[in-house]
Amino acid sequence: MASPPPQDAAAAHPLTTYLQRLIAEKHSNLCVSADITCATSMLSLADAVGPSIVVFKTHADILAGWDSHPTTGTGAQLAALARKHRFLIFEDRKFADIGSTCQLQYVGGLHQIVTWAHIVNAHILPGKDMLRALGESAAAWEALNVPAGGNEDEAPSRRGLLLLAQMSSAGNFLDETYTSHCVAIAREQRDFVMGYIAQRPLNSLPGDAFVTMTPGCSIPPQESLDDSEFVPGEEDALGQQYNTPRDIMLRGCDVIIVGRGICNAKDPQMKAEQYRKLAWEAYVEKREK
Ligand code: 5IU
């Protein structure tokens, strides 16, 4: 029997392709995670670090003062900043309920995530029908938001999902078998799944073109270059474990995710530039090897 034709890079999700382009053009592998609790400050942070990043990660449910107006509210303002600075918005919602409930969490409530977040993420614990459910909601949104076309610099009018394949926290239960289930499911649902949150790349077959975004990243205190009050070390007091931007890039990951190391710095804009540069240098080094 003839084997199926090998899948090439064309199998990449459109948002993955766009993200790779942003990485190359902005010389950045940086995702800033807005782990702050005020909606206005979150928008200011996005504007300040926008030139240095390719992805901006949010936790909408920790923000006080969220304005849900569809065209002038917080989500719409963040989407405008994403267009201005050219970055993707990733709502770190970690969906983990039955399909029907996840659909409501994705499109409804105060945040109406699907309307402003290019990317969301999900655990596979409830089973893969839940991903199909989220994918259907994404497709319904896409059908109503067909791009006018013409502007190649804009993000494609698509929605994508990252599977939570590995976590950075000590003692987590996402073992190798669990991770391999994520990989199998990602390959089945390429229309919607664009990649992983993981500690190392998980692509191993020719057709795999999934992006890897990696949290648990900090610059060692001795390299920090300023006197910020919060400089993460190798771990925090609550189980978070850190690796350096360089280590993560040399493993072959695509994007580092940095929260408090940047948000809690005295000058987040300057600190984001420091992370961007360190990660980009290691990324280039890895590619030239
Ligand atoms: N985050 C992790 N580890 C994970 C996953 C998500 O740290 O395995 I999945 C999130 C949590 C926080 C950000 O929003 O990434 C990291 O923040 P710090 O850089 O402040 O530790």
Residue 155 to residues 20, 63, 148, 212, 265: CA-CA distances in angstroms? Answer: 12, 25, 12, 19, 29
CA atoms within 13 A on the CB side of 31: 26
pLDDT(4) > 80: no
pLDDT(8) > 60: no
CA-closest residue to ligand 1 atom 16: 259
What DSSP state is assigned to residue 159?
A: -
How far is the centre of ligand 1, averaged over its atoms, from the C-alpha of 269 (Å)?
19
Mutate to test the pocket of ligand 1, among 61, 163, 196, 240 (most ligand atoms within 8 A of CB): 240
pTM reported for the whole predicted model: 0.94
Indicate if 94 belongs to the active site.
yes
pLDDT(237) > 90: no
Protein residues whose CB sits closer than 6 Å to any atom of ligand 1: 33, 35, 92, 164, 167-169, 197, 215-216, 240, 257-261
Contact 242, 233 (CB under 8 A): yes
Question: Which atom from ligand 1 is nearest to the alpha carbon of 218?
Answer: 19
Indicate if 97 belongs to the active site.
yes
pLDDT(167) > 60: yes
pLDDT of residue 3: 46
| 279 band by pLDDT with thresholds 50, 70 and 90 | very high
pLDDT of residue 221: 73
Longest CA–CA separation in the chain, Å: 65
- Stretch 115-130: mean pLDDT: 98
